Chain A
Amino acid sequence: MREYLLYLGCTTPVRLPSYEAATKAVLSKLGIRLLDFKDVTCCGAQYIESISPRAHIGLGGRILALAESQGKDVLAICGACSGSLKHSKHILDKDKGMRREVNSMLREEGLKYTGNVQVKHLLQVLRDDIGYEHIRKAVTRRYSGVRLAAHYGCHVTRPYDIVKVDDPENPRVIDEIIECIGATAVDYPDKTRCCGGPLLAMDEELAALIGADKIKNVRGVGAEGIVTACVFCDIHLSQIQIGDDEVPESRVPIITLPQLMGLAYGIDKESLGINLNRISPEGILGTLQEGVGQ
C-alpha cells in the first residue's frame, strides 16, 4: 500500500478540517495510507516567501528533510503549500550552496536534505497513483445529471515547470474525476483564473471582485456547484457569496473534490464534514443514484 506523510499546512486543519477528513477517508478507500506529519512548521508560502527567499527555502528544506528521515514522500492538499514545498525542493535540488546552507541549520537536529523525497498534490495522487479507472470502479452511488465546474487553484497547476501537475492553461484532472463519478463537468470562461483568495489580506475589495467574477462565470454556464482542491480557493469562493446582499438561493455550492468523491463511495456525510460546508451542497447530493455502481 502506497503511503504518504500528510502535510496539512496552517489553514486546512483550522479553517477547513472537513477537507482533511474527506481526503483521509477517500484515499483510505482507494488504497493510499496517510500518516500524520507532526513536528513540522509552516512552509513559508506567500508571507515568509515575499520577505526572505532563503528563510522560505529553509522552512521548506526542514519539512522535506524530516520526511526523508521517515523515508516517506509528502502529500500536500493546500495549493499554496504544495506549490511552496515543490519550489523549495526545486531550489534545493539545483542549488548546492543553498542546500549546504539549509543542511548546516538542520545538523543539530540530525536531519539532512539529500533530495530523496517527492512532494505531490492531491490531484497527482488521485490521477497517477490511483488512476481514473480505479476511481470509476470504486463508485457505489453515481451522480446523475448534475453539472459541476472545476476550479483548480493557481498554485496547484502553475508554474508547470516546477509543480508538474497538469496543463497549466487547460487542466483536466478534476474534470475527469467529476465525469468518473457520474456528474457532468462543464467549462466556463476564465476557468484557470485565480479565485482572489491570495489577495484577501492585502485588498479585500479586489479579492472579492475577482471571486465574484468567477462565481458569475460559473453561474453563467448553469453549473450547480464548484469543485475545489485547495483550502484557500474553497474558503474564499464560499465566503464571498455569504453577504447581506446575496440571496441564499442564488449561491453556488462549493465542495472539495474528496467530499464529492466520498459521497459517491458511500462514505457518510458526517465523516466528510458535509454539514460544515458554508453553502449547502444538498442539491448536488440529491442527484446521487443509490445502488448504482459503475
Chain B
Amino acid sequence: MGMSTHAPTSDFAKEIARAPGGEAIYKCVQCGICTASCVVASVSEKYRPRELIQRILIGMREEVLTSVLPWLCVTCRMCTERCQEDVSPADIFHAVRYVAAREGHIPSVFSHAVDLVLQDGWMLESGYSDFIEDERDDLGLHTDLGWNNQFVRRIKEKYFEGGLTQ
C-alpha cells in the first residue's frame, strides 16, 4: 500500500521563500497561533493569517497575488513574537507584496503613497497648509521643514523605473 504525499499545485511557496522576508515559510507548522494573536482577524472573518500561509504552501499563486488579504496585515508583529518556529507572517506577507507588486497588483493607497514619496521626498507636502504652518509657529516650531526631494529621484531611477520592479 503506497503512501501518497501532498504536492503543491505550483512552486509559489519556493518563490516566496526566495523573496526577502519569505525565507521561513517552510518552517510553518500551521498551528494557528498567528490567527489567534491577530488583531485584524479579531475584527474580520475573511482575514486568517494561518489560512493565507496555507494557501501559499499549497501553491495557490494567482489567488494569493491578486488578493487584498496580504495587504491587510498591520505588521504589529504580535504573531512574530509568539511563533515558536520563528516564522513571521508579517514578513511573509511582505514577501508576497513584493512579488505581487512586480506583477502590477498594488492597492491604490499603496501606489499613491509611494508616488508621493518618490515625488516630494515625503508624504504630506500637499497636506502642509498655511493653517498648519501657523499652528507650528504658535508652538514655537520652525515652519520650514526642509525635506530633501532630490535623493528620491535616485531611488526612483534605481528601483522603480519601468514599473515597480525590485
- Check A202–B107 contact: CB distance below 8 A: yes
A154 CA to B42 CA, complexed, in Å: 16
Q: Is A258 positioned at the interface, with any CB of B under 8 Å from its CB?
A: no
B100-135 vs A, CB cutoff 8 Å, 1 = contact: the mask equals 010000110111011001000111100110001001
- Check B76–A193 contact: CB distance below 8 A: yes
Within 8 A of B (CB), among A168-227: 168-169, 190, 192-194, 196-199, 201-203, 206, 209-210, 213
A73 CA to B108 CA, complexed, in Å: 35
B contact residues around A203 at 8 Å (CB) = 72
B contact residues around A54 at 8 Å (CB) = 159, 166
A202 CA to B111 CA, complexed, in Å: 12
Q: Is B33 positioned at the interface, with any CB of A under 8 Å from its CB?
A: no
- Check A11–B124 contact: CB distance below 8 A: yes
Q: Which 5 A-B pairs have the closest CB atoms?
A: A38-B146, A154-B76, A47-B113, A158-B77, A194-B76
B contact residues around A196 at 8 Å (CB) = 39, 74
A38 CA to B21 CA, complexed, in Å: 31
B70-81 vs A, CB cutoff 8 Å, 1 = contact: the mask equals 011011111011
Within 8 A of A (CB), among B21-75: 21, 39-40, 42-44, 68, 71-72, 74-75
Total A residues in contact with B, Cβ cutoff 8 Å:
59
- Check A17–B164 contact: CB distance below 8 A: no
B contact residues around A58 at 8 Å (CB) = 154-155, 158-159
Given contacts A52-B164, A271-B140, A276-B135, is CB(A213)–CB(B76) below 8 Å? Answer: no
Q: Is A147 positioned at the interface, with any CB of B under 8 Å from its CB?
A: no
Q: Which of B39, B80, B147 touches A158 (beta carbons < 8 Å)?
A: B80
Q: List 17 A-B contacts (CB under 8 A).
A: A14-B132, A15-B124, A39-B147, A40-B148, A41-B152, A51-B111, A51-B114, A52-B159, A52-B164, A53-B98, A105-B155, A154-B75, A160-B81, A196-B74, A199-B72, A202-B72, A206-B44
- Check B43–A169 contact: CB distance below 8 A: no
- Check A62–B124 contact: CB distance below 8 A: no
A contact residues around B164 at 8 Å (CB) = 51-52
Q: Is A20 positioned at the interface, with any CB of B under 8 Å from its CB?
A: yes
Closest CB in chain A relative to B96 CB, distance in Å: 10
Given contacts A51-B164, A209-B43, is CB(A17)–CB(B124) below 8 Å? Answer: no
A15 CA to B131 CA, complexed, in Å: 11
Q: Which of B21, B42, B106, B151 touches A51 (beta carbons < 8 Å)?
A: B106
Closest CB in chain A relative to B44 CB, distance in Å: 5
Q: Is A10 positioned at the interface, with any CB of B under 8 Å from its CB?
A: yes
The residue in chain B whose Cβ has the minimal distance to the Cβ of A199 is B74
The residue in chain B whose Cβ has the minimal distance to the Cβ of A162 is B77
Name B's interface SS.
loop
A contact residues around B135 at 8 Å (CB) = 17, 276
B contact residues around A213 at 8 Å (CB) = 42-43
- Check B78–A13 contact: CB distance below 8 A: no
Show the binding face of A for B, using Cβ within 8 Å: 8, 10-11, 13-15, 17-18, 20-21, 24, 36, 38-42, 44, 46-55, 58-59, 62, 105, 109, 154-155, 158-160, 168-169, 190, 192-194, 196-199, 201-203, 206, 209-210, 213, 270-271, 273, 276
Closest CB in chain B relative to A51 CB, distance in Å: 5
Q: Which of B40, B117, B148 touches A44 (beta carbons < 8 Å)?
A: B117
- Check A62–B166 contact: CB distance below 8 A: no
Q: Is B136 positioned at the interface, with any CB of A under 8 Å from its CB?
A: yes
Given contacts A54-B166, A202-B71, is CB(A10)–CB(B124) below 8 Å? Answer: yes
Closest CB in chain B relative to A125 CB, distance in Å: 19
The residue in chain A whose Cβ has the minimal distance to the Cβ of B128 is A14
- Check B40–A199 contact: CB distance below 8 A: yes
Contacts A41-B147, A47-B117, A55-B160 known; list 5 others, CB within 8 Å: A20-B139, A39-B147, A50-B110, A105-B155, A210-B39
A241 CA to B87 CA, complexed, in Å: 35
A209 CA to B142 CA, complexed, in Å: 36
B contact residues around A154 at 8 Å (CB) = 74-78
- Check B166–A201 contact: CB distance below 8 A: no
B contact residues around A24 at 8 Å (CB) = 141
